[in-house]
Homo-oligomer: A and B are copies of this chain.
Amino acid sequence: MGIGDDGALINPSDNQQLVVASDTLVEDVHFPAAATGRQVATRALCVNLSDMAAMGAQPRWFTLALTLPEERANSAWLADFSAGIAEIAKQFDIALVGGDTTSGPLTVSITMLGEVPPAESLQRSGAAVGDSVFVTGYLGDGAAGLKSISSINNSCINSDRLLQRFYAPQPQIKTAIQLRGIASACIDISDGLVADLGHICQASAVAATVYTQQLPIAEDVRKLSPNNCIDWALFGGDDYQLCFTVSADKIDKLEQLIDGGELNACKIGTIQIAADGGCPVTVLDSNNSPIALNKQGYDHFG
């Protein structure tokens, strides 16, 4: 049954829990007005897939509500947008099961449905004192990508790579599924490492320490701005990597995956007893001095 009916019928697998997540992207808030239809589409779908990764879920189905101003409601823009949706849907083997198109300011709202075996979902609330803190991939790419949109001729950076990271951040689905049974807590980094690790700390009633020297920052991002790259890695949003915690008895299992090249992650800190008040995340610089955390959260685009 297709999109023609009032709703779509789907058949969940036996003995699985469903995971539901919704995310809305608004022009000039989550992407610049200059973005192409394809860029808007891939970014919207990848951001939503990243929520599935954060939960350790296998994404299966999605619905798409597109609000479109008249000047974009032409076949060229829509073909470009649809191509982006089709590309990511094929890559992650997910099915568009329903949708809605309305007239208005450009907004893309996606609801993603995924499946996870009972009690194997990853959550924010499982971090415990003594756990190690890991992140996947590189941090700061999203913020650097945002910079490169406005200064695209800067020769020291690989703009194509960073633009791609901004418009089609790679949701860490495969890694997240590997982390079932290994990670004690997990979140995707959409608001920035400090803010999102802070969410894990709050949900788990713990604190965390992060070491700047251990932050995985890509070489081109370091070159783009040696002064800012640490800030981007700590506070820049839009990386859509995973931040997760692992207890001591599971570290071996994780390191086997990392050493075998099956999983790309590195340790950046540890979980500690929660202190009273203040930010639950302490960041230590290369001299082991705490750095001031005055940039909580992240404003996304603009």
Contact = CB atoms under 8 A, between A and B. Distances in A.
- Residue of A100, A111, A121 ringed by the most chain B CB atoms within 10 A: A111
A280 to B, nearest CB: 15
Contacts of A51: 6-7
A12 B18 contact: yes
Contacts of A109: 22, 24, 65, 100, 107, 109
Nearest to A17: B9
Chain A contact residues: helix, strand, loop or mixed: strand
A57 interface: yes
A160 interface: no
Contacts of A18: 9-12, 18
A20 B102 contact: no
A113 interface: yes
Interface in A171-201: 187-188, 199
Nearest to A104: B26
Contact of A98 (B21, B28, B98): B21
A49 to B, nearest CB: 11
B11 A97 contact: no
Given A5-B123, A121-B9, A29 B102 contact: yes
A114 interface: yes
A202 to B, nearest CB: 9
A54 interface: yes
Contacts of A203: 4-5
A20 B100 contact: no
A109 B66 CA distance: 10
